[in-house]
Chains A and B, each alone.
Chain A
Amino acid sequence: MSDRRLYVDYLARMEGDGAMDIVIGENGEIKKAAWEVWEPPRFFEAFLIGRKVEEAPELVQRICGICPHAHHIASLRSMERAMGIKVSEQTRLMRELMHYSDWIMSHALHIYCLAAPDFVGYESVVAMAGNPDLLPIVGKALGLKRLGNDMIVAICGNEIQNRTSVLGGFTAVPSKATLQALKERLKAAKEFAFETVKLVVQLGNVAPYNKLERKAEYVSLYDPKRYPINEGRLYSNDGLDVPDEEYPIWILEKHVPSCNCKHATIKGKGIFAVGPLMRVNNNFNTLSADAKKIAAEVGFSVPCFLPYFSIVARALELVHAIDASIELIDVLGEPKREEIKYEYRAGESYAVVEAARGSAMHGGRVDKNGVIQKYDLIAPTARNIASLEADFKAFVPQLLNLSDEELTLKCEMMIRNYDPCQSCATHSVKVNLRREK
């Protein structure tokens, strides 16, 4: 008699490297279920001490190449709060458009390139493109991802790391003509976004995915009037409702053995999860009218505690992000070059934004010369690790009749449900599954 163990030393189609270790005893009991992130740490919170405050947003966007704008905006907002800098309405709207562009790119990437291949039985999107029936969809998916990228290029200068957005505002703004051209493309992309919602509901709404439910505390930003992306209160479906700058008071972190990233809990309570499914649950009412309409059409409603339906939430947010971007472009009209002016002032503050993959917090303390004295950041993935381990414990016992190969894939998918970004959290995933025979 021995434990059954599945082992994948470097999980594919997610950003980073880590380990999943699942050990199943001979009676089907879960002896161990752990996701171990082994990405080498880069010590941002340490090397930012002694750097200038305007360097923080520039450098922290380099934490993650997939959600750089989330880290960047959280850093901007927290440092501006710390020094009492007020930005213009145009800057707030431009930042929102910049971040929605990133959502469009990231959600299209995750749905089609990282998650969908599992559901349809391919090893990658490249393999999917080899099927003549799927090639047109892959082409459209790449087109949508490109649209997100083109929006980012128009606002930020290039795809990955933004060049224009700085403390206090933007060094350059896109022309009205550029934005209008993007608006036309966004309008044209709506059809494919609707198709995407219908497609992912088909993929997700089959056993076992639509049976694997786990009620949990879902955390996101919340605003009763506007779908939250850059601003809102820190909120949960179980009573948390506080200003976002109080994040460090309410969300506690600890370093656990065998993992290079920190686990998080809500003060006085337990673990929680963040991400598109959690956002959609908490903020369904402020999704765009068309996002709500297509949700009703495909029979999606909240509350929804099916982690494999995170792909559906992501697709709904894709529709919403397109609508929100069109609206922002209309409101922005012809953006003006605004003078960027601020003075250094000592202070400390924090801010939360919604990265494509969940809430990210940045903040710290600055001295009167604008030199950083302390810096903290928490990435979404770091907060989902404990939640993922709870998914393993809840779901693996329901899947024991699967072969090792199949079960390993289902476990990998449980990780991909969170669209993890392990260089945000620090990186690395091994899938390690063992059961007693």
Chain B
Amino acid sequence: MVNPKVAFFKFSSCAGCLLNVINIEPVLLTVLSVIDIEYFVMAKRDNHHGPYTIGFVEGAVTTPKEVLELKKIREECAIVVAMGTCAVTGGVPSIKNFSGMNQDQLTKTVYAENIYDPFLASIPAKGIDHYVKVDAYLRGCSYDLGEFVELIKRALKGEDPMFRPHSVCNECKLKENVCLLVSKGQPCMGSVSAAGCGALCPSLNRQCEGCRGPANDCNAASLAKTFMEDLGLSKDDVVRKFRKYAGNTPEFSKGAEAAL
């Protein structure tokens, strides 16, 4: 059997999701024996052009140049995986979309002058499926390593990884965690956020911030109301919560709009 050709790409992001690829140290050499990494500039010097079997894409799209590169990646890869929250929803870079500042103001705040190259001029940060078809999503900031390895295994067999679409609450209940929202009155986003992390934050006594984006069929507007009416959060607090990791999604937009 010929090993599938795999490529790793990065757009506007922290490179943490690419680094996470080599954070599977105990199985890394085994994984490398069943795939051929053809393109991974952060890890190797000898890189090859496509076509590729699987292309993993980290990062939000924030420049016209990245839009063109992404479209080329789509043409070159049989399977395109959005890897991590930035690529899935626009993630942290998308906070600027809702900052109330236009691009010129954003640039002046950070650089005190304009960045001159129009090709690199920033546009609203979006997840990659705003521009191209995406075949699979690795949610989370950063994504879960178990899901990453599972996705590779399933891809080798030509199967859908069947990641869970339900909310973080399901995993919290399985772990028998005390509910941060109901019992401790903390504004936890778990009930509207996609699971797969093993309820990582609530298990560490930290409220979920929704880094994996919306769960299936979630009712963000209702949670926004609960935050304001029952927990006493301000309108601005609630808007900030829904416009952090996945403000671009229609589901979390409803949460923010319910507060406004």
Q: Is the CB of A159 within 8 A of B46?
A: no
Q: Which of B103-140 contact A (CB under 8 A)?
A: 105-107, 109-113, 115-116, 120, 122, 125
Q: Identify the B interface with A (CB < 8 A).
A: 10-20, 22-23, 25-26, 28-29, 32, 37, 41-47, 62-63, 66, 91-93, 95-96, 99-101, 105-107, 109-113, 115-116, 120, 122, 125, 141-142, 145, 200-201, 204-206, 209, 211, 236-237, 240, 244
Say yes or no: A50-B100 contact (C-beta < 8 A), given A113-B43, A124-B43, A124-B46. yes
For B200, give its contact among A51, A126, A157 (CB under 8 Å): A157
Assembly CA distance A164 to B204 (angstroms): 6
Could you list 8 examples of A-B contacts with CB < 8 Å? Answer: A42-B125, A46-B109, A52-B240, A124-B44, A124-B46, A125-B43, A139-B29, A160-B17
A153 to chain B, nearest CB (A): 10
The 4 closest A-B pairs by CB, nearest first: A65-B16, A124-B44, A123-B46, A46-B109
Assembly CA distance A262 to B110 (angstroms): 10
B21 to chain A, nearest CB (A): 11
Say yes or no: A46-B106 contact (C-beta < 8 A), given A15-B15, A123-B45, A171-B205. yes
Say yes or no: A129-B29 contact (C-beta < 8 A), given A46-B96, A51-B240, A117-B45. yes
Chain A residues whose C-beta falls within 8 Å of the C-beta of B63 in the assembled complex = 40
A205 at the interface (CB under 8 A from B): no
Q: Is the CB of A47 within 8 A of B66?
A: no
Chain B residues whose C-beta falls within 8 Å of the C-beta of A17 in the assembled complex = 10, 41
A326 at the interface (CB under 8 A from B): no
B11 to chain A, nearest CB (A): 7
Q: Is the CB of A40 within 8 A of B206?
A: no
Chain A residues whose C-beta falls within 8 Å of the C-beta of B200 in the assembled complex = 157-158, 163
Q: Identify the A interface with B (CB < 8 A).
A: 10-17, 38-47, 49-52, 55, 58-59, 62-66, 68, 109, 113, 117, 123-127, 129, 138-139, 142-143, 145-146, 149, 157-161, 163-164, 166, 171-172, 255, 257, 260, 262, 337, 371, 421, 423
Q: Is the CB of B15 within 8 A of A142?
A: no
Other 13 A-B pairs with CB < 8 A, given A42-B13, A68-B14: A12-B45, A13-B41, A15-B19, A43-B96, A45-B110, A46-B101, A58-B209, A124-B43, A149-B25, A157-B206, A158-B200, A171-B204, A262-B111
Chain A residues whose C-beta falls within 8 Å of the C-beta of B204 in the assembled complex = 157, 163-164, 171-172
For A13, give its contact among B43, B91, B116, B244 (CB under 8 Å): B43
Q: Is the CB of A113 within 8 A of B99?
A: no
Assembly CA distance A126 to B6 (angstroms): 14
Chain A residues whose C-beta falls within 8 Å of the C-beta of B16 in the assembled complex = 62, 64-66, 68, 160-161
> Which of chain B's residues has its CB closest to A376's CB?
B110
Chain A residues whose C-beta falls within 8 Å of the C-beta of B95 in the assembled complex = 47, 51, 59
Q: Is the CB of A126 within 8 A of B37?
A: yes
Q: Is the CB of A123 within 8 A of B44?
A: yes
Chain A residues whose C-beta falls within 8 Å of the C-beta of B120 in the assembled complex = 38, 40, 260
Chain B residues whose C-beta falls within 8 Å of the C-beta of A255 in the assembled complex = 111-113
For A127, give its contact among B42, B44, B100 (CB under 8 Å): B44
Q: Is the CB of B43 within 8 A of A52?
A: no
> Which of chain B's residues has its CB closest to A377's CB?
B110
> Which of chain A's residues has its CB closest to B14's CB?
A65
Chain B residues whose C-beta falls within 8 Å of the C-beta of A123 in the assembled complex = 44-46
Chain B residues whose C-beta falls within 8 Å of the C-beta of A172 in the assembled complex = 204-206
Of B28, B125, B237, chain A has the most CB atoms within 10 Å of the CB of B28
Q: Is the CB of B28 within 8 A of A142?
A: yes
> Which of chain B's residues has its CB closest to A61's CB?
B14
Q: Is the CB of A163 within 8 A of B28?
A: no
> Which of chain A's residues has its CB closest to B60's CB?
A42
A16 to chain B, nearest CB (A): 7
Q: Is the CB of B15 within 8 A of A161?
A: no
A428 to chain B, nearest CB (A): 9
B163 to chain A, nearest CB (A): 17
Q: Is the CB of B240 within 8 A of A160?
A: no
Q: Is the CB of B240 within 8 A of A149?
A: no
Chain B residues whose C-beta falls within 8 Å of the C-beta of A47 in the assembled complex = 95-96, 99, 101, 106
For B237, give its contact among A52, A65, A163 (CB under 8 Å): A52
Q: Is the CB of B43 within 8 A of A65?
A: no
For A43, give its contact among B19, B46, B109 (CB under 8 Å): B109
Assembly CA distance A370 to B32 (angstroms): 47
> Which of chain B's residues has its CB closest to A253's CB?
B112
Assembly CA distance A421 to B10 (angstroms): 14
Chain A residues whose C-beta falls within 8 Å of the C-beta of B125 in the assembled complex = 42
Q: Is the CB of B19 within 8 A of A160?
A: yes
B239 to chain A, nearest CB (A): 10
Assembly CA distance A306 to B134 (angstroms): 47
Q: Is the CB of B142 within 8 A of A55?
A: no
Assembly CA distance A163 to B17 (angstroms): 16
Q: Is the CB of A41 within 8 A of B44?
A: no
Chain B residues whose C-beta falls within 8 Å of the C-beta of A66 in the assembled complex = 15-16, 19
